[in-house]
Copies of this chain bind each other. A is one copy, B any other.
């Protein structure tokens, strides 16, 4: 299952953006249906040549404006003129859990608002719609002066980017992000309309959305109705969303040309071999070790009782999902034939660059500079990875508040990423979320994180000293969680409003620890910026330019959790010695449940047995397409030639996990929920007929 893989970087904590992030641009000729294309550069010629279809500008604008980014880490789309927004249940899961209580568990039982009045406000969900795109490459690069050091160049770029964002926000009121594409080959200003009053309308039981659980996750054939419906509000009323996707209840059929419009989180296809080597040797193994340990702790906690299970469910889900995805990617990097292919591509590209004296002069040294930076990074990689505590909301909130009050005092251009003026509103929205905090679970997570950090970095590391002062991790964690008030949104608000003075004066133990560890976190962050990120940014730009010089702009940039269009067909694939079908049906849902004797995670919600005879079991449930997607695309609409929605992306197959590095259309498949099954179960199982009417425009 594809889940917020943009969150990969959050899960991987500090600096993984650097470990897995910046890089160069690749050189492959594209295989069929490959590509996560920006809306300014759709693959018009490829589409015409292969499918005889050319999307008009109107078609492209309509699809773009109906597409939604769920800032939790997913995608979605408007499916009615009144703000109704479709995404995956697993994208909605965090919100569902936040509005649940021990008495009323919407994750387990599902939710349906029978009227507008019952639509339930989400604590901290922000939706973005991409209103416009502007190429600002020239402006960003204009600040670079001959002879600048890499570090100065990085600072200058960042300052200019912050300036562009601020100007745009002030002028338009839109959220304004400057993003780097083609690893710095281009910079674009993306302006987003934001919705922060978002209300839950419908969700089935998690068991229905995630039938088959972790075993079936990232696999196919599949039988998951992984859907949820929200409604965007403006001024207390359902938002007007005239650019919505028309619902096509017939769904899709084998061989259909389909498009996916969504926000793929992160790929590493254009990275250099040195960067992939570093990820293989330092990124993945450490991350998988951390996640597996955290998972074990949470599973133990979850087994203590029903309420603990409810609290931990979303995080366990996320970690299992990440572990399965990252394991697939890691196996890709361990696959010698995949790496040999990458090496060959890079060697070919470099040979072409070297064959032209001018290119060689301008770009030729970029690869070895990156390699040297990675090598320099190795001895400090563990500090970059372990100076932190993952998974704990109170720890994360406290540290962010300490950073916030310091950063906002600086000129915008000099701030840490994440604290620019244009980002503050969304950041505060998240920091002040009223969602509940579970102290017992927080304590376990902090104890786990601190113990690991102490073990990996030793007692003399400044972070370890500042956090533990020689005491046992579980003792410190217990004290912190018992005595802090940071779990209280009002307290967090008072700190933010009180600013640096309030934070400095606070005796709250969590704030104190955050203040104490802050210098060591900043130190390694700055070291990585100065020694790795600045080099890779500059070298990445060189390679990006080299790529345009050698190959032209006939390809797409790596994924950046920004809006992309992919195309493909509904199509089975060779699997397990036979063929995986293009689609599955409700018959298969019952087969798979009974095949395991209804044993969890293959059990069905009771209504599936009670009302089975009302269902048309031949209704398609899930289907697979050759569209090139990745985590973050969860919740993306699958769209036909007519711009109608025919499905809902929720996963990729197991063969797609190496998609972080390569796309192979013979087996890489996106997995989607068919529109047909959504209206079928809404009408026949969930008594949600009027909502189905709204979808179907009746």
Contacts and interface: CB of A to CB of B under 8 A. Distances in A.
Contacts of A215: 578-579
Given A576-B575, A654-B576, A654-B577, A221 B585 contact: no
Interface in A45-76: none
A571 to B, nearest CB: 12
Contact of A585 (B572, B584, B594, B602): B594
Interface in A634-654: 653-654
Interface in A608-656: 617-618, 653-654
Contacts of A596: 572, 579, 581-582
Contacts of A324: 577
A595 B585 contact: yes
A507 to B, nearest CB: 51
A90 B618 CA distance: 30
Nearest to A212: B578
A219 B577 contact: yes
A281 interface: no
Interface in A108-156: none
A22 interface: no
A591 B602 CA distance: 17
A591 B584 contact: yes
A576 B216 CA distance: 9
A219 B588 contact: no
A301 interface: no
A578 B618 contact: no
A483 interface: no
A39 interface: no
A485 interface: no
A4 interface: no
B592 A590 contact: no
A218 B215 CA distance: 23
A597 B212 CA distance: 24
A254 B618 contact: no
Contacts of A212: 578
Q: Size range of the interface on A? A: 35 or more
A587 interface: yes
A681 interface: no
A583 interface: yes
A249 to B, nearest CB: 17
B582 A587 contact: no
Given A577-B218, A578-B212, A654-B576, A591 B597 contact: no
Interface in A201-221: 212, 215-219, 221
User: In this complex, which of A328, A575, A584, A587 has the most chain B Cβ atoms within 10 angstroms of its Cβ?
Assistant: A587
Contact of A591 (B328, B572, B588): B588
Contact of A221 (B218, B219, B595, B618): B595
A622 to B, nearest CB: 10
Contacts of A618: 590, 594
Contacts of A328: 577
Interface string A560-578: 0000000000001001111
Given A254-B597, A587-B587, A597-B254, A581 B592 contact: yes
Contacts of A590: 585, 587, 617-618
A578 B216 contact: yes
A32 to B, nearest CB: 22
Contact of A587 (B217, B218, B594): B594
A617 B595 CA distance: 12
B597 A587 contact: no
Contact of A581 (B581, B584, B595): B595
A585 B578 contact: no
Nearest to A595: B581
Nearest to A253: B597
A581 B590 CA distance: 13
Interface string A305-347: 0000000000000000000100010000000000000000000
Contacts of A221: 595
Contacts of A653: 577
B254 A578 contact: no
A585 B594 CA distance: 7
Contacts of A576: 219, 575-576, 654
A602 B580 CA distance: 12
A478 to B, nearest CB: 39
Contacts of A584: 591, 595
Interface string A592-607: 1011110000100000
B577 A585 contact: no
Contacts of A617: 587, 590
A216 B602 CA distance: 24
Interface string A416-454: 000000000000000000000000000000000000000
Contacts of A654: 576-578
A572 B215 CA distance: 13
A595 B591 contact: no
Contacts of A588: 587-588, 591-592, 595
A216 B221 CA distance: 14
A216 B576 CA distance: 9
A595 B582 contact: yes
A218 B578 CA distance: 9
Contacts of A582: 595-596
Contacts of A597: 253-254
Contacts of A585: 590-591, 594-595
Contacts of A594: 585, 587, 618
Given A581-B602, A587-B588, A594-B618, 18 more contacts: A218-B577, A219-B576, A221-B595, A254-B597, A577-B653, A578-B654, A581-B595, A581-B596, A582-B596, A583-B595, A584-B595, A585-B591, A585-B594, A585-B595, A587-B617, A588-B588, A588-B592, A590-B618
6 contacts: A217-B578, A572-B596, A577-B654, A587-B591, A588-B592, A590-B618
Closest 6 A/B residue pairs (Cβ)? A581-B595, A588-B591, A577-B654, A587-B591, A219-B578, A219-B577
